[in-house]
């Protein structure tokens, strides 16, 4: 059986162009808010790292504000899509790197901004990845994390996680806002802002983009049709299988180092 890392690559390499064209990924209020955050904070960031960059939509939104942006992903196909998209947009400050968020080949303090969008739910060693984000963050830098957040209700969460895994074998877990806050705080990050938006998922394009096998599509539909009313209401399930996710955005800085007598 393939490793999780190989599963991620197998899932996304053949689907890079589909994700580059995906309206769900290419736009959204979160990307608009990212631009507002950079302008409002008068961010000093000149070097940024986009972890699990996918087809590059966050990189494309950030690059005009930066001198250098490294788009990192374990999928060569996705990185090729990023390179094409950057060339089309004239974004010469974007460079690509094949790698994993859990083990970064960069010295401490290398980047003024470390970010990720719609990738962390694929990371099998999330705590390690978050600590790597903090390690490569320069003093005074920022972390930007955007991902689907898991429902706080256990019944709803169980149904959503099952749907996600049936659709995509590389899915690990959508963490709740509470789980994220505990993890990020433990890594030494201070939350400066949190925003959340509803994200409507059209069922047919959702499974088509991932080329989900018919047997698994049927299993998702069976799970949905048997879901209790509480789940149907919370996810906004429609007869065609479409439903609503929640996108969460965390804007953070590293906690200041505690002073000592020697300081």
Quick one: pLDDT at residue 3?
76
Q: What is the pLDDT of residue 235?
A: 97
pLDDT at residue 143 in the model = 96
Neighbours of 219 (CB within 10 A): 16
Half-sphere exposure of 161 (CA within 13 A, CB side): 17
Question: What is this structure's pTM?
Answer: 0.90
What is the domain partition of the chain in residue ranges?
Answer: 4-150+171-199+246-254
Share of the chain above pLDDT 90, in %: 74
Query: How many angstroms separate the CA atoms of 136 and 256, rounded?
Result: 16
Quick one: what percent of the chain has pLDDT higher than 70?
86
* Position 263 pLDDT exceeds 60: no
- In sequence order, the β-bridge partners of residue 234 are none
pLDDT greater than 60 at residue 81: yes
Q: What is the pLDDT of residue 40?
A: 74
- The radius of gyration computed from the CA coordinates of the chain, to the nearest angstrom, equals 19
Enter the CATH code of domain 4-150+171-199+246-254: 3.40.50.150
Report pLDDT for 22.
Answer: 59
Please state, in angstroms and rounded to a whole number, the distance separating the CA atoms of residues 55 and 30. 16
Please report how many Cα atoms fall inside a 13 Å half-sphere around the Cα of residue 60, on the Cβ side: 20
**Are 251 and 192 spatial neighbours (Cβ–Cβ below 8 Å)?**
yes
Q: Is there a contact between 63 and 43 (Cβ–Cβ < 8 Å)? A: no
Q: How confident is the model at residue 245 (pLDDT cuts 50, 70, 90)?
A: very high
Query: At 92, is the pLDDT very low, low, confident or very high (cuts 50, 70, 90)?
Result: very high
Higher per-residue pLDDT: 19 or 67: 67
């Amino acid at each position: 059986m393939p490793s999780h890392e190989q599963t991620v690559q197998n899932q996304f390499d053949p689907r890079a162009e589909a994700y580059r064209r995906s309206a769900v990924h290419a736009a959204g209020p979160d990307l608009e808010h990212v631009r507002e955050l950079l302008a409002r904070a008068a961010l000093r960031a000149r070097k940024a790292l986009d972890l699990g960059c996918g087809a590059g939509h966050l990189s494309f939104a950030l690059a005009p504000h930066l001198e250098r942006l490294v788009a990192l992903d374990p999928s060569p196909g996705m990185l090729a899509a990023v390179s094409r998209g950057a060339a089309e947009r004239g974004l010469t400050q974007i460079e690509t790197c094949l790698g994993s968020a859990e083990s970064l080949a960069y010295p401490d303090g290398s980047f003024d901004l470390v970010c990720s969008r719609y990738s962390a739910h694929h990371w099998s060693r999330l705590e390690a990845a978050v600590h790597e984000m903090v390690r490569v963050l320069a003093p005074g830098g920022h972390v930007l994390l955007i991902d689907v957040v898991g429902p706080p209700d256990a019944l709803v969460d169980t149904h959503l996680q099952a749907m996600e895994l049936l659709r995509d074998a590389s899915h690990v877990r959508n963490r709740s806002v509470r789980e994220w806050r505990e993890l990020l705080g433990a890594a030494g990050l201070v939350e400066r802002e949190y925003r959340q938006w509803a994200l409507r998922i059209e069922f047919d394009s959702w499974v088509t983009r991932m080329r989900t096998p018919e047997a698994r599509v049927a299993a998702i539909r069976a799970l949905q049709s048997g879901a209790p009313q509480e789940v149907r209401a919370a996810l906004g399930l429609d007869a065609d299988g479409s439903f609503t996710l929640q996108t969460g955005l965390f804007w953070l800085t590293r906690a200041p180092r505690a002073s000592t007598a020697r300081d």
